[in-house]
Structure 1
Amino acid sequence: MSTHEPMPDSVAGGLPPLGTLVPAVVELAEVAGDDIMAIYRAGPSAVTHKADDSPLTAADLAAHARIVAGLRQLTPAIPVVSEEGCVPDEGARAAPVFWLVDPLDGTKEFVARNGEFTVNIALITQGRPVMGVVTVPAQGVSYWGAMGEGAYRRHAGEMQAQRLHVAVPREAGRPLRVMASKHHFHEDTRALIARMGAHELVQAGSSLKFCRIAEGVADVYPRLGPTCEWDTAAAQAVVEAAGGHVCTLQGEPLRYGKAEVLNPDFVVSAVPLAELLRD
């Protein structure tokens, strides 16, 4: 996706310009991150489990409440879908424009206390993530990207954000830097990576794997395994605004607001997937 691609008229007519929305959403995500860190610093949290056996903590719920309230105040007419929302929120995924939120992506990382968890907020229109914010509360780093606005990273205390762009894979003859999930690395994934030739593995948790590609320190992240739409939308917007690609194994863009909330298998890459495969 070109970072200079124009906003569809159906979106532009019903929203403030993305460039004016982004700072408010970044601030909201950072405040939600502060809520998470207050609980994180208090020590190990009680963990319950949802129907799908995924973990849930007070930090997930606090960030959910903060973000949903903030987005409803910022854009009252746009529905909000959050991973921690109640079932009626799911109907909003059929709307042409909606917010898609993962208040705490990487709850396992939060419970493990390794700092590799994120706050994700995306704006979806016509099935596409046109804006995304990913913050890393424990590291004090924020990433964001929007169609036509580019992608950026800012560390806590910095006045100026840094413009991001994906790297050129294998420049200077180096091996391909492949992001690998800490919890979902199996034989099908290994086989796909093998088709890409010489490589080295780099690990990270949550949507940080996308951000590593957006900032040019990794080249590709194959994900063959279950993810939900809220896990990927915000980070996809950042990667695409940085000049990268997020597609299915068939080369189709990853889409949102589908009847099924689960994503298909996908690959995040600095260049189109077909350019990486060696057979």
Structure 2
Amino acid sequence: MSRFDLQALNALAVAAGTEILRIYATDFAVITKGDESPVTLADQAAEAIILDGLKNLAPDVPVVAEEEAAAGRIPHTDGLFWLVDPLDGTKEFVSKNGEFTVNIALIENGVPVQGVVYAPALNEIFWGDADGAFKAVVTDGVVGETEAIRVRTAGDGVVAIGSRSHGGDETQAYLKRFAVKAFVAAGSSLKFCRLAEGAADIYPRMGRTMEWDTAAGDAVLRAAGGRVETLDGQPLGYGKRGRDGETDFANPHFVAFGDPAIS
């Protein structure tokens, strides 16, 4: 398994997050992309920081990043590549509710083997790989004491978590098969991290996502003992390209599980 220094990746995510927060405090403009999703200067500035950092850290590993992809600049990907979403939850950023994240993931043979998720407005950072999953508080740009995290056993009812900006009847219909005792709304890839730290148990996503939206959170969740599956029970894979009638890097509907006993 190929791995890189996660502390270096954390530092890179924090650097990007620092620039995001600087712009967050201004009267920034919002542009609508061709797919009707919003983008801001913060998305672009954070991505530039991450791309430059990954080039120095791993010059031979290609990077697929959201804004570069939107501009048509997508490198060839083979067994090993990075997936980057510099600002996941742009709608949360625009509405200023704080639930947006910086996401950096390493993909090897279709599997997210390392991931960092940083929520700069919430001062929370999560990361994971084969050594486990962890979180810390970030204060003034410094990552604090490391805390190991792990998924929990749900017990007599599950806590479901879902998108603050996306949802619908299909999600509610899926959840009817479980004894849901609470539903929590959250933005961006934080949903995976809440599962990973044992704050929720299941996250169904019955809407459009791209691989850069999910890869880092998926890596953290897997490292914490959880899993992410398509609706037919297969692990969510990465590097999906060249499929008939499908956009490159688009995900199918999926469900993320914390408690390994539920399915």
Normalised by the shorter chain, which TM-score bucket?
Answer: over 0.9
Deviation digits for residues 217-258 of structure 1, max 9, x if unmatched? 000000011000000000000000000011111110111111
1:276 corresponding residue in structure 2: 262
1:233 corresponding residue in structure 2: 215
- Alpha-carbon deviation of 1:21? 1.4
1:261 corresponding residue in structure 2: 249
User: Among 66, 70, 74, which residue is 2:53 paired with?
Assistant: 70
Identity, in percent, stands at 47
Measured in 2, the distance between the counterparts of 1:182 and 1:154 equals 24
The residue correspondences of 1:156-195 to structure 2 (distance < 5 A) are: 156-157=138-139, 159-170=144-155, 173=156, 175-195=157-177
Measured in 1, the distance between the counterparts of 2:110 and 2:195 equals 22
Which runs of 5 or more structure 2 residues have no equivalent in the other structure? 242-247
Indicate yes or no: 2:128 matched with 1:142: no
Measured in 2, the distance between the counterparts of 1:50 and 1:177 equals 34
1:14 corresponding residue in structure 2: none
Asked if the contact 2:230/2:254 (under 8 Å) is kept, the reply is: yes
Measured in 1, the distance between the counterparts of 2:185 and 2:170 equals 17
SS in structure 1 opposite 2:5? helix
Measured in 1, the distance between the counterparts of 2:79 and 2:193 equals 26
Q: Give 1 or 2: higher strand fraction.
A: 2
* Number of equivalenced pairs: 253
Asked if the contact 1:80/1:89 (under 8 Å) is kept, the reply is: no
Deviation digits for residues 18-64 of structure 1, max 9, x if unmatched? 3x51000000000000000000112x310011110110100000001
- Alpha-carbon deviation of 1:159? 3.6
Measured in 2, the distance between the counterparts of 1:156 and 1:24 equals 14
- Alpha-carbon deviation of 1:88? 5.2
Measured in 2, the distance between the counterparts of 1:88 and 1:112 equals 28
- Alpha-carbon deviation of 1:187? 1.3
The residue correspondences of 1:48-197 to structure 2 (distance < 5 A) are: 48-86=31-69, 87=71, 89-92=73-76, 94-146=77-129, 148-157=130-139, 159-170=144-155, 173=156, 175-197=157-179
Task: Report the TM-score when normalising by structure 1.
Answer: 0.87
Measured in 2, the distance between the counterparts of 1:52 and 1:198 equals 33
- Alpha-carbon deviation of 1:89? 3.7
Measured in 1, the distance between the counterparts of 2:73 and 2:228 equals 26
Measured in 2, the distance between the counterparts of 1:203 and 1:88 equals 33
- Alpha-carbon deviation of 1:261? 1.5
2:244 corresponding residue in structure 1: none
Measured in 1, the distance between the counterparts of 2:180 and 2:149 equals 25
CA root-mean-square deviation: 1.4
1:37 corresponding residue in structure 2: 21
Counterpart of 2:134, as a letter, is Y
